[in-house]
Amino acid sequence: MQAFISVDLEGMPFVVIPGQLNLKGSLYEEARKIATKITLIVTDELHKNGFDKIVIADSHGPMVNLHVEDLPECVEIVRGGLRPTSMVAGVEGCDIAMFLGYHAKFGTAKSTFDHTYSGGSVQKMVVNGVECSEYLLNGYVAGEYGVPTGLVAGDKQLIEDDVITHSPWVEAVELKQSLSRLAARSPSLIKIEQELRKAVNKAVIKLSEKSLKPLVTEKPVKVELTLRDSSQVDGVDLLPFVKRIDGLTIEYVSKDMIEAYNSFQAIVYIASAISMSRQYLS
């Protein structure tokens, strides 16, 4: 059997300041160790349950966060970007998908690092009428490939808002309870390990009982995207498949979630490039 794990950082326990999230951050190495530890716990339990291949998508920021020297033989890791389907690259062909270190969507009150994919570019992403967090966006892509979601571990608010609401069959583990954008309460790693191992085992049992489901949306896929700045929309509006709704909002229609996701990535890169280019105009 083959499992897929997507690993983000903002929803990891103890991660609460920007200095833990970027390559030059003062506490980035601490966050790397935490994320690697969490990933290894889940990987080990999956391997004990008969998964002989585990694909891990290193999915935060530069996408080179995990300590690869610590990964076991059964693991293949997807690192670096830009890459098709980004945070879920490698999910196709897997039997189960799991999401670790995930966080709430942009605008969520009292939630550490609330954002949706790109904090500098995206205010809101709505897929077929459903406002998406990164979990829902990535879960829909896994579902497009027929891969059921079995486990989500991350911020409590994400679990309450999106996981329970849209995928009640999923095993969920709270890695932190946010107190504000830059503060959270986290259990000990010992407690977290116990909860993760229980959740993995429950998810595997559900998989064997066929009670896990792919997270799916209708096709074609209509995406409504609200960006952070009107100049970003000025640039994105030049794309032939994009329709501008107002100063900050565009929409487009894709044949499936794979196409919708990759178009979204391209739009975000354009928006980010426009924001960066403004520094040369001052």
In whole angstroms, what separates CA 237 from the centre of its chain? 26
Tell me, yes or no, whether 188 lies in a domain: yes
Tell me, yes or no, whether 24 lies in a domain: yes
Tell me, yes or no, whether 27 lies in a domain: yes
Tell me, yes or no, whether 216 lies in a domain: no
Domain hosting residue 6, numbered range: 2-104+133-208
Q: How many domains does the chain have?
A: 1
Q: Are 207 and 46 a contacting pair, CB within 8 Å?
A: no
Tell me, yes or no, whether 262 lies in a domain: no
Confidence label for 80 from pLDDT (cuts 50, 70 and 90): very high
Tell me, yes or no, whether 43 lies in a domain: yes
Q: What is the pLDDT of residue 10?
A: 98
CA distances, 255 to each of 39, 61, 173, 222 (Å): 33, 28, 33, 9
Give the pTM.
0.97
> What type of residue is 15?
V
Q: What is the pLDDT of residue 280?
A: 80
Confidence label for 279 from pLDDT (cuts 50, 70 and 90): confident
Average pLDDT, the chain: 97
* Residue range 225-262, pLDDT digits in tens: 999 999 999 999 999 999 999 999 999 999 999 999 99
Confidence label for 282 from pLDDT (cuts 50, 70 and 90): confident
Q: What is the pLDDT of residue 248?
A: 98
Tell me, yes or no, whether 199 lies in a domain: yes
Tell me, yes or no, whether 225 lies in a domain: no
* Residue range 151-165, pLDDT digits in tens: 999 999 999 999 999
In whole angstroms, what separates CA 279 from the centre of its chain? 29
Distance (Å, whole) CA 87 – CA 273: 20
**At 63, which CATH number?**
3.40.50.10780
